[in-house]
Chains A and B, each alone.
Chain A
Amino acid sequence: MKAAPFRRPRLSGLAIYVGAYLVFLYLPMVLIPLFSFNDSIQAAFPLKGFTFAWYEALLANERMHDALANTLIVGFSAAALATLCGIAIAYCDVSRPSRIARTVSALARLPILIPGVIVGIALLIFVNLAGFGPSRLAIVLGHTCLALPTTVIVMRTRFAAIPRSLEDAAMDLGAREWLTFRKVMLPLSLPAVAAAFLLAFLTSFDEFIVAFFLTGTEQTLPVFIWAQLRFPKELPSVMALGSLILAVSIVIAGAAEFIRRRGAVAREAAGA
């Protein structure tokens, strides 16, 4: 086969551009951890000296502890709800296609096409009408909406990759729909379920725009950061908190990617 003009394994201008692009993506983010260890109130060069003081101040902050607890409660609840709904919506869309299932699936992916600020005010009106108003429950509902497109897309991709014959075989052997789902479809999709849950948790964990409208007295971490930004002397501890949030996000995103890939590899090995 003659060498195609589209595969040249050498360091081209394009490869250098990709490297520069990655530097552009990551450089501003690296500054946050860098200055979180800097012994100065200001984020400016030259660096003054190494210190853990901002992390110590942060860990001693009671309001940060409350915000962390709220973030975890909201994150787990929203991720659980979004994953449950994502499984149901994707399964019905892929395995039991009907006009309703398709409409619900399309609705679930709609939040991608709505700016966060509008999702935020829509739910703010909703929770006030429902009577409970801005609260942790309100944020859970908001984050469920935002995570739904992700969980539906991850689960749809997985369900669509399971050969139809497995499901038909279970049905031929007398299993009803629910049993087929529980004993065949769900076990085969567990890596995707785990990845969907992690990504939904991450969506909630980092989310600010919608949470801002739905926060009552109980702040989540991003809303806490927003409030701290008004005080210049809190800047270093905001950077310390930001560094921790970045680290957790990267670990969770990496874990989700790892689980998804391992699921894919195991499937190929099983010939599915």
Chain B
Amino acid sequence: MNVPGTLVTVTLILFALALVLFLSTRINDSTVLGAGFTFGNFVEAASDPLYRMVVGRSLIIAGLVTLATVGLAYPVAYYAAFHAGRHRGLILFLVTLPFWTSYLLRVFAWKIVLAYNGVLNSGLMELGIIREPILAFLNTPAAVVITLAHAYAAFAVLPIFVALETIPKSYLEAASDLGAKPAETFRRVVLPMSMPGVLSAALVVFVPTVGDYVTPALVGGPSSTMIGSIIQAQFGKADDWPFGAAVAVLTMLVILVVVAAARALDKRFGSRT
């Protein structure tokens, strides 16, 4: 009964990931599986200061995007969970709809906003706020952060909403009966109890952003190269698949550490999921 499911997951997910791990320990000779065993790819990736800088930048950018996305999403989830009334379904639908539209188009939209001859510059000039187009909008790490925070905005609302939604209303009434003001109820009851949702929101934003290569290429410029860009280049122009696989394995290790940290935090907050 589960034959198709088992076949697909084992070959396309488990086996394909094992191939990445295998290839990362091979010497590049431009064949699919490389020649001979080596740890050289990892040594090169870990020792070269350029790669270390790119890894650091990816973590900083993905971290900032995660903070911004989760921070912006929390009040929306809070409103949907406690205040929206009969509009709740509509708000949740409107927030999740962009999730189902093309991510490439969302990034592209920011390219036309931030470009030299773009919407923002021409709009500001039209309004007489600036005289000359500002170059500094496009091709900066800041452009990458804004674009990604927008592109993944909708991901974060749903997990936080679910966590807020499952808080028993009696807890809130109990807090208020015991004399807590709304702000105190929020700080000591609602916020801690919604942390599992906040953590899973942070994960679903962090994972795709840390490996992104499209946004750096379209709006980031050369100063915003991220890990994903390096992996993509190794499987394209640079044509060094084993090295690209090693960088991919290191990226997965970083993600594993982040997931483990989120799990540990989740335990501290006493997950109810």
Binding site for B on A (CB under 8 A): 4-9, 12, 14-15, 17-18, 21-22, 24-26, 28-29, 31-32, 35, 42-46, 81, 84-86, 88-89, 91-92, 96, 100-101, 104, 107-108, 110-118, 121-126, 128-129, 141, 144-145, 148, 177-178, 181, 199, 202, 206, 208-209, 213, 222, 225-226, 229, 235, 238-239, 242, 245-246, 249-250, 252-254, 257
With A5-B185, A15-B83 already in contact, the answer to whether A45 and B126 are too (CB < 8 A) is: yes
17 contacts between A and B (CB under 8 A): A5-B172, A7-B85, A21-B95, A24-B72, A108-B8, A111-B13, A113-B203, A118-B211, A118-B231, A118-B251, A121-B248, A122-B16, A122-B19, A129-B32, A213-B235, A242-B102, A249-B102
Nearest chain A CB to B10's CB is how many angstroms away?
A: 7
Encode B189-221 as 1/0 by CB contact (under 8 A) with A: 000000000000001100110111110001000
Q: Which residue of B lies closest to A221 (CB)?
A: B102
Q: Which of B5-42 contact A (CB under 8 A)?
A: 5-6, 8-17, 19-20, 23, 32-33
Beta-carbon contact of B105 and A242 below 8 Å: yes
Chain A residues closer than 8 Å to B106, beta-carbon distance: 28-29
With A32-B109, A101-B2, A113-B207 already in contact, the answer to whether A5 and B176 are too (CB < 8 A) is: yes
Q: Is B241 an interface residue (CB 8 A)?
A: yes
Q: Is B43 an interface residue (CB 8 A)?
A: no
Bound form: Cα–Cα A85–B85 in Å: 37
Chain B's interface: helix, strand, loop or mixed, by majority?
Answer: helix
Q: Which residue of A lies closest to B7 (CB)?
A: A85
Q: Which residue of B lies closest to A142 (CB)?
A: B12
Chain A residues closer than 8 Å to B218, beta-carbon distance: 229
Which listed residue (A4, A86, A88, A222) contacts B173, Cβ 8 A? A4
Beta-carbon contact of A17 and B5 below 8 Å: no
Chain B residues closer than 8 Å to A121, beta-carbon distance: 20, 231, 235, 241, 244-245, 248
With A4-B176, A35-B112, A108-B9 already in contact, the answer to whether A118 and B1 are too (CB < 8 A) is: no
Q: Which of B99-136 contact A (CB under 8 A)?
A: 100-106, 108-110, 112-113, 115, 117-119, 121-123, 126
Bound form: Cα–Cα A270–B169 in Å: 28
Encode B230-248 as 1/0 by CB contact (under 8 A) with A: 0110010000010011001
With A17-B75, A18-B79, A208-B214 already in contact, the answer to whether A5 and B182 are too (CB < 8 A) is: yes
